[in-house]
Chain A
């Protein structure tokens, strides 16, 4: 049972570089989310998707882009990396509907922009 898989685990970027954080889930979950976690600040929602081909902005979308071409994959793209994007990024997924479905998280990608 792989669950939610994120790659890479760690990455250091220079200011202005770009990269894609990968997220894939094998639970056939329609809903997928990207969060960032900063020390003492809790988790903030960047983007989310309720199904293939559908994405929407969360609280802190600036500087990021997403796509959802398949149910399994939900990559997060950083264009022109800035020091403010230094954070731990978590991908998560769940099934929609009844309210009984918990959120499943990946192990995170720790990104440093210098």
Chain B
């Protein structure tokens, strides 16, 4: 059974810092991996999707990497801003699971002034 872990559970950084969020998964036979952002009381917004054949994806100040063989992904946020404060979740689709995503429990990020 696929299990997805995110460490740390919470993180507080001052504005302007670069930071890395971690995601690990136990079954490396994945179809793709997605990073989501969730604001309080809201749904999830897809940030980046990395297909199993890719190593990284970039969108603006965000860069996500994937190391399938070691079961790890990182989300790098450059020059953090208070507006980046949210919970970040990663999720994987494991091959042979009919496109069902398995989610991590998230990292709650606070960027302070």
Contacts and interface: CB of A to CB of B under 8 A. Distances in A.
Interface in A61-109: 90, 92, 94, 96, 99-108
Nearest to A30: B99
Contact of A42 (B31, B41, B42, B89): B89
A12 B34 CA distance: 32
B16 to A, nearest CB: 29
B88 interface: no
A100 B103 contact: no
Nearest to A95: B99
Nearest to A48: B100
- Please classify how large the interface on chain B is, using the bins under 10, 10 to 19, 20 to 34, 35 or more: 20 to 34
Nearest to A45: B100
Given A105-B43, A108-B43, A99 B52 contact: yes
B34 to A, nearest CB: 6
A42 B105 contact: yes
A5 B98 CA distance: 23
B42 to A, nearest CB: 6
A100 B42 contact: no
A56 B43 contact: no
A92 B89 CA distance: 15
Interface in B1-46: 4, 31-32, 34, 36, 41-46
Interface of A: 4, 31, 33, 35, 40-43, 45, 48, 50, 56, 58, 90, 92, 94, 96, 99-108, 110
Interface of B: 4, 31-32, 34, 36, 41-46, 49, 51-52, 89, 91, 93, 98-101, 103-106
Given A33-B100, A43-B103, A96-B99, 11 more contacts: A31-B99, A33-B101, A40-B105, A42-B106, A48-B98, A48-B100, A90-B44, A99-B31, A99-B52, A100-B51, A103-B91
Closest 9 CB pairs of A and B: A102-B46, A105-B43, A42-B105, A43-B103, A105-B44, A107-B43, A99-B32, A42-B103, A99-B51
